[in-house]
Structure formats: structure tokens, C-alpha cells
Amino acid sequence: MIDSRFFREDCYINGLWVGGQDRIKVNNPATGEVIGSVPKFGRKETAAAIDAAQEAFLLWREKPAVERGELCRRFYQALMDNQKELGRLLTIEMGKSLKEAMGEVAYAANFFRWFGEEARRIYGDVIPSPWAGKRIIVTKEPVGVVGSITPWNFPTAMIARKAAAAMSAGCTIVAKPASQTPFSATAYGVIADDVGIPKGVINIITGKAGEIADEMCENPKVRKITFTGSTEIGKQLASKAMLHMKRVSMELGGNAPVIIFDDADLDRAVEGAMISKYRNSGQTCVCANRILVQAGIYDRFAEKFAAAAAKLKVGDGLEDGTEQGPLIDDSAVTKVEQHIEDATSKGAKVIAGGKRHARGRSFFEPTVLRDVTPSMLIARDETFGPVAPLFKFETEEEAIAMANDTEYGLASYFFTSDLGRAFRVMEKLEYGMVAINEGILSTEVAPFGGVKESGLGREGSKYGVEDYINTKYALFGGLTK
């Protein structure tokens, strides 16, 4: 049991806490201890949550934008006022360090603040009419009930990115968190009560992923599906949602390149690549999956980068000074091991880490591999763990070709001090997001999302609201006397 009033083991539906007999147990990945359980709900309970969201939608959409915005702002404040307590809950169920967890709570809160402000700026248009005596007006309307499915790697922020956008636009939401990390989500029910969100506007349901997703995709009251997770599941959900012509936002997998050019500031490049790779123990869809280093700087970069990785402090996220927590579970570790084994069997060399950490469980040493080539598994597949593979390239054209040689197109990064190159490369990278001389780019004010098989739609920023809005064209005729 976790001693926090935010720790709730029931679902939050229509403003009420709803329990069930059939349960899913939840572990702390750092200790293996069972910390609690949540209901294993299915289609019936999901349909009930959707009904509640639909009823609430009819009232919520009528609220003046300024009032919806104010409730979002209060949500922001509540998250910030309880940042440490919520961060602790997140660390216990997910494993990331308390520092990162508190950072995530602030990241989540910022979405509520941003979208709360945006609520007042969802403007329509008046289009000059081509006909005398007629007027063309364009209005913006909330899409309706939103079904949201979010992953375990950012259990607080991913819901916020969707719920805040939905709520500001006038939509209501049924949110299904990952079964590994439901408590950061059920905590949203406590906050919703605290800040006075009307019942049914936000509903949190836990349980059988397939059944909940099917109900969301097939129930006609749901008008939009938003998902963050793997490309494989995203494709399944998008096809099901499409059968019912629902709007979709899909934030899917990545295979992010970090390109280090010879002319880069070496220390800045090492620092940027470190944060990109090892944030959240490498369990992010925007984290460096391939580090491409130009031949002239390769050895020096490899040496400094490996030294920095070896210094990272691995431990329970609640311990002081921990920089890298455990991976989410044993299958995550197995995947990391397979990538290392495949690379080393084909000629890559381990220059830092390389194996399970002495602490046992799902702790893994921050690892660096050099002499990695595009024929290795790690070049194609998202590792989702703390392994940095260093590839070598000779020319700018080769780096761009290598970077784009993937079906994914989410985040990319490069380091250079040449302004011309910065623009050339930025324009040629086939990615939804590009960071130049920076290793982290996530913020609520910028559009987050990918191209190619990394997904559809954008989250955060003014573009993020558009995904929750329908455009209506109204023609007013007969206006002449």
C-alpha cells in the first residue's frame, strides 16, 4: 500500500469510484513488490464510462471557453501543488528516478496550463462570400467523446497531453492507462474531484486492453481515438477506428537518429546524446536509437560518451542521486539483451556496461556499443532501453541517408556548428521533429508527432487542439431585402 491520498485502486467513472472483483496486480519494478491492484474491466464498464462521457459532453461543450480554461488551470495548479507526492507514486509504479518523475508531473501540468489558455483561442472564420446576400461562417466544434489509450513510460504526461487538449476543446474523455502503471492515472480522478471538474468529463478505466479498445472503436458515441504506443498496436486501433470513420491521433514508435558532425561542439554533443539516450532509461519513443558519428570525431566522441554513460548512477528511483531506474519488466531487459547479443555477434564492441546490473531484477547497466553497422538488429528495431549504438559515417549525404533509412519518422537530432548545414540537414530529415544542438525537445508549446509509420496528428501547441475539433461551414442565405 502506498501512503498517499492520490493512491486509488478503483476506476473513476462519472465522478464515482467504481471497484470490481476481477483485479490486475501492479508491481514496483525496483523491488518486485505488489503495490496494489485495479479492476480488470471490459466492454460493459467501458460502455458505461462512454455513456457518462456522452452525457457530460452535452453540458461541457456549452460551458464558456473561459470556464473550461479556468478548470484546466486549476488542474495545472493541483498537479504542481502535489508534484512530489504524485512524482513518488509515479516512481513507485514505473521505476524512473524521483527527479524525472517530478519533471514529468510538471510536464503534465504544463499541458493543462497551455490548453487551458488555448481554450479561449479556438477561433472560427468569416469567409468572403462569392454570392450577393449570402454569408459564409466557419465555426469550430468539439469532436465529442474521446477514447484515450496511453502507455506506461510517461503515465502522467501522456494522459495530460490528451485530456487537457480534449477538455479545452469541449470534449469529454474516457482514458485507459497501461496496466503496469494505472495509479498515476487513477490519481487524476482525485484531482478532478478536488478541482471541481463536472462528473463524466474525465473517466479513468482500467482492465482488458483488447475489450476496452474494441468498445472505444466500435461504440458510436466515441468520436475520436487517441493513442500513444507501438506502431503495431497503433495500426490495429487506427484500422478499427476507421471502420467507424472516427478521428484518430496516433503517436507511435520511433527510431531516432542523433547525428554528430565533425564540426560539433564535442561536450555539447556528448551531453545532448546522453540526455536523449538515457532519459527514462531509454524508454521513450523519442530517445536516441542510433547515434551516427562522423569519422573525424568518432573515437573522441566514443571515449567521452562511454565515460559519461559509465558514471550514471543506477538504482531505485526513490534513492537519492539515482539517475537511472530499472526497466519496466523482464521482457524489456530481454529485448535489450537480444539487441546487444545480435550486435556483438556481428562485430560491435561493448565500451560501457553491456549486461544486467548487479542490483538484479530489471536493472540494466547503461551501455554503449561501438562499430555498429546498419545490418544489425539495433539499427532497425526500437530498443526501448539504455543501449547506445555508435555508427560511423563519412559525409553529410551519407548521414542523411542513414538517418532516413527507417520506416519511422518521429524525432531526430543533430549536432553541428555550421549554420548552412543546420538548415540543409533539418530540411532533409524525414521526421516530424528535429532538434539541432539539443538532446531533448518535448514541451507543451510545440507540436509533438511523427511522419511515416510514427503516426498521425500532433499533440501539444496550437496544433494539438485542432485534433479535437470539427470544422463546420454555415451558409446564411436570403440576407438581401
* Catalytic (active-site) positions: 251, 285
CA–CA dist 391, 346 (Å, integer)? 13
- Minimum CB separation of residue 274 from ligand SIN in Å reads 16
DSSP H/E element including 387: strand 387-393
Residue closer to ligand SIN (CB basis): 35 or 441: 441
- Minimum CB separation of residue 67 from ligand SIN in Å reads 28
CA–CA dist 15, 150 (Å, integer)? 21
CA–CA dist 67, 83 (Å, integer)? 24
Residue closer to ligand SIN (CB basis): 170 or 254: 254
CA–CA dist 210, 113 (Å, integer)? 32
Q: Which residue is nearest to ligand SIN (CB)?
A: 442
Q: Are strands 34-39 and 125-127 parallel, antiparallel or unpaired?
A: unpaired
Is-contact 410 455, C-beta < 8 A? yes
CA–CA dist 303, 200 (Å, integer)? 55
- Minimum CB separation of residue 107 from ligand SIN in Å reads 7
Angle at 276 between CA 233 and CA 417, to 5 degrees: 130
- Minimum CB separation of residue 86 from ligand SIN in Å reads 17
Residue closer to ligand SIN (CB basis): 148 or 442: 442
Is-contact 146 171, C-beta < 8 A? yes
- Minimum CB separation of residue 279 from ligand SIN in Å reads 8
DSSP H/E element including 291: strand 288-294
Residue closer to ligand SIN (CB basis): 82 or 228: 228
Residue closer to ligand SIN (CB basis): 53 or 146: 146
User: DSSP per residue over 158-217, as a string?
Assistant: HHHHHHHHHHHHT-EEEEE--TTS-HHHHHHHHHHHHHTPPTTSEEE--B-HHHHHHHHH
First and final C-alpha spacing in the chain: 73
- Minimum CB separation of residue 253 from ligand SIN in Å reads 9
Q: Would you call 316 helix, strand, or coil by DSSP?
A: coil
- Minimum CB separation of residue 450 from ligand SIN in Å reads 10
DSSP H/E element including 352: strand 349-352
Q: Which amino acid is at 33?
A: E
Residue closer to ligand SIN (CB basis): 256 or 368: 256
Residue closer to ligand SIN (CB basis): 4 or 230: 230
Interface ranges with ligand SIN (CB under 6 A)? 153-154, 228, 284-286, 442
- Minimum CB separation of residue 111 from ligand SIN in Å reads 10
Torsion sign (Cα): 246, 252, 257, 258: positive
Choose among 199, 197, 204: nearest CA to 174. Answer: 204
Is-contact 90 280, C-beta < 8 A? no
Q: Which residues contact 334 (CB under 8 A, 6 or more apart)?
A: none
